[in-house]
Amino acid sequence: MTHEAAGVPTSRNDEDPQNLDRQDDPQHAQDASQGEDLRANPDGAQQAASASDDATGGDAGDRLAGGGGEAGGAAAGESGAPRPEERLAKAVRVAEQALIEFEIAVESFRVEVENFSRLHHQKLGPMYARLDELDAQIAEARAARSGDPEDLRKAQEARAIVMPMPGVDELFHGWMDSDGLSPEASAMLTDQPVRPPKRVRPGEEARKLYRELARQAHPDLAPDEKERTRRDEFIARVNAAYGRGDVASLKELAAEWAAGPVAPELRLSESEELYARLEWLSRRKELLTVLAQELEESAIGSMLRMAPDDPDALLDDIGEKLLAEVAQRENELAGLVQ
């Protein structure tokens, strides 16, 4: 789901059967709240990972061990207590939901990192270019005044920064970046309207719709490969709409999912299958934890940590500081050329 997760898992009914089974489960409520923390505060990644780890780790083994063998299962059945397989199946459902909440949090933060990077380039790129040009003109003015070879060398270096050799982005005029085709290029090639993000963090309504769709249509809840493929394609569209903060598209996708065919529920019965599912969920959680750490430690992720409540305001603050630097450079240049 994420970057489709690098960037770092029901049915098509309005209600998720697994959520209905567990809507009163305190562990589920805790996992959901921890999943939200990462979007608002990247430090929450480790908390969410810890919750997922609890669900996919020793908890299930302890529950199963308490049941004993066949004799213990029979005795439990006679006394009305859940059989070991039933308790293990419940542990799998808890782990699935914990992992989904964690992945929602990681994907939400990845979207913010990507949107911040794009908006930073679009809004502030011209200011950085202006600063580079002013620095070059100041260095050239000083070299013209002094005639010093060292000043001439510095002037040449400053001018080279302003006119670098074109890279991939320049050669392809923004159509490609390090991850391949840019979102705008992909949209144009598929006859979709080009809609860059308006904000770093999508609005509350978009976030709510996204979380609901991710919980209902997550690929990791697919009972077979065919259903997983269908969910992968659907969630990719959900992620794209969420990245743009496109509430209208998210509502259309929600209606499409609700009207679609009802997929069979993923059911695991044998202990071996349940244990295999828990092991897979644990490995998935470990991969997401690595992705979350990479996002948090990236340059943009570190900047977002400075303003977890309002990343869009951070862009405005940086813009104001750059404008002040431009004004200072212009005054310095004016003093040199008089």
* pLDDT tens-digit series, residues 29-57: 344 444 444 444 444 444 444 544 554 44
Pick the closest to residue 86 from 76, 96, 101 (CA basis). 76
Q: Is residue 24 part of a domain?
A: yes
Query: What pLDDT was estimated at residue 168?
Result: 44
Contact 89, 96 (CB under 8 A): no
Place of tokens 């920064």: 161
Query: Mapping DSSP to helix (H, G, I), strand (E, B) and coil, where does residue 39 land?
Result: helix
Q: Are 201 and 311 in contact (CB under 8 A)?
A: yes
316 within some domain: yes
Q: CA 50, CA 212: separation in Å to the nearest integer?
A: 23
Low-confidence ranges of the chain (pLDDT < 50): 1-49, 51-52, 55-77, 168-179, 181, 188, 193
What is the model's pLDDT at position 120?
87
pLDDT value at residue 47: 47
Domain for residue 169, yes or no?
Answer: no
**What local confidence, expressed as pLDDT, does residue 27 receive?**
44
Residue 130 in any domain: the answer is: no
pLDDT in tens, 270-295: 777 888 888 888 888 998 999 999 99
Domain that holds residue 275: 17-125+189-337
Please state, in angstroms and rounded to a whole number, the distance separating the CA atoms of residues 146 and 26: 74
Q: How many structural domains does the chain have?
A: 1
What is the spatial distance between Cα 333 and Cα 338, in angstroms, rounded to a whole number? Answer: 9
Give 244's Cβ-side CA count (13 Å radius). Answer: 17
For residues 338 and 238, give the distance between their C-alpha atoms in angstroms, rounded to a whole number.
58
Tell me the C-alpha distance between 146 and 130, whole Å. Answer: 24
Q: Would 273 be classed as within a structural domain? A: yes
Q: Give me the pLDDT at residue 323, please.
A: 92
Q: Contact, 107 vs 292, CB < 8 A? A: no
pTM of the entire structure? 0.61
Residue 322 lies in a domain: yes
Phi and psi dihedrals of 176, rounded to 5? -130, 150
Residue 276 lies in a domain: yes
Residue 3 domain-assigned? Answer: no
Residues 6+ apart with CB under 8 A from 280: none
